[in-house]
Amino acid sequence: MRRVATAAVTLALLAACVHSETPAPHTPRPVRTVKDVVGIWRTIHQNTLQLRQDGSFLLVTSLANPLTGEYTLSPGRMDVSGTPGCGDAVGSYDVQVAYQQRLTFRVLTDSCQLRRQQLTVDQFIYANS
């Protein structure tokens, strides 16, 4: 009887150690659709980024006047433009998202220093309920 109990405990421990091939739902992945990013996002410094369904955005930070503009998406990439103070500069960013959890930007190219700094300084956390 004792061997059966020991074997059962050993099997339970081995089963707990099995690695799943399915990534956790919070694992960041490249952005694919507008639906992946629409909503309100905040940083630990309470900067707020609102990405709207119509392709417009509003970025409010404590360091600058609110930034507005438009964005377009392609798999894993977001292009932003139309930001006052940035002229005709179009910024391109590698974008990863964990659905309704985390949004990160990595600059590919953006000559607008203010926009580049505000989008990449911190990770954004989903704030909608």
Q: What is the pTM of this model?
A: 0.73
Give the per-residue pLDDT at 62.
Answer: 82
Q: Is residue 115 part of a domain?
A: yes
> Which domain does 78 fall in, by range?
29-126
**Secondary structure class of 30 (helix, strand, coil):** strand
Give dist(CA 49, CA 124) in Å, integer: 8
Strand partners, 81: 70
Give the per-residue pLDDT at 98.
Answer: 78
> pLDDT tens, 70-128?
999 988 899 999 999 999 999 999 998 876 688 999 999 999 999 999 999 899 999 97
Q: How many domains does the chain have?
A: 1
Strand 39-42 vs strand 29-30: parallel, antiparallel, or unpaired?
unpaired
- What CATH number did the domain enclosing 66 receive? 2.40.128
Q: Is residue 88 part of a domain?
A: yes
Q: Is residue 1 part of a domain?
A: no
> pLDDT tens, 20-64?
444 444 566 667 677 878 999 999 988 999 999 999 999 998 888
Burial 22-47 (b: 16+ CB within 10 A, else e): eeeeeebeebeeeebbebebbbeeeb
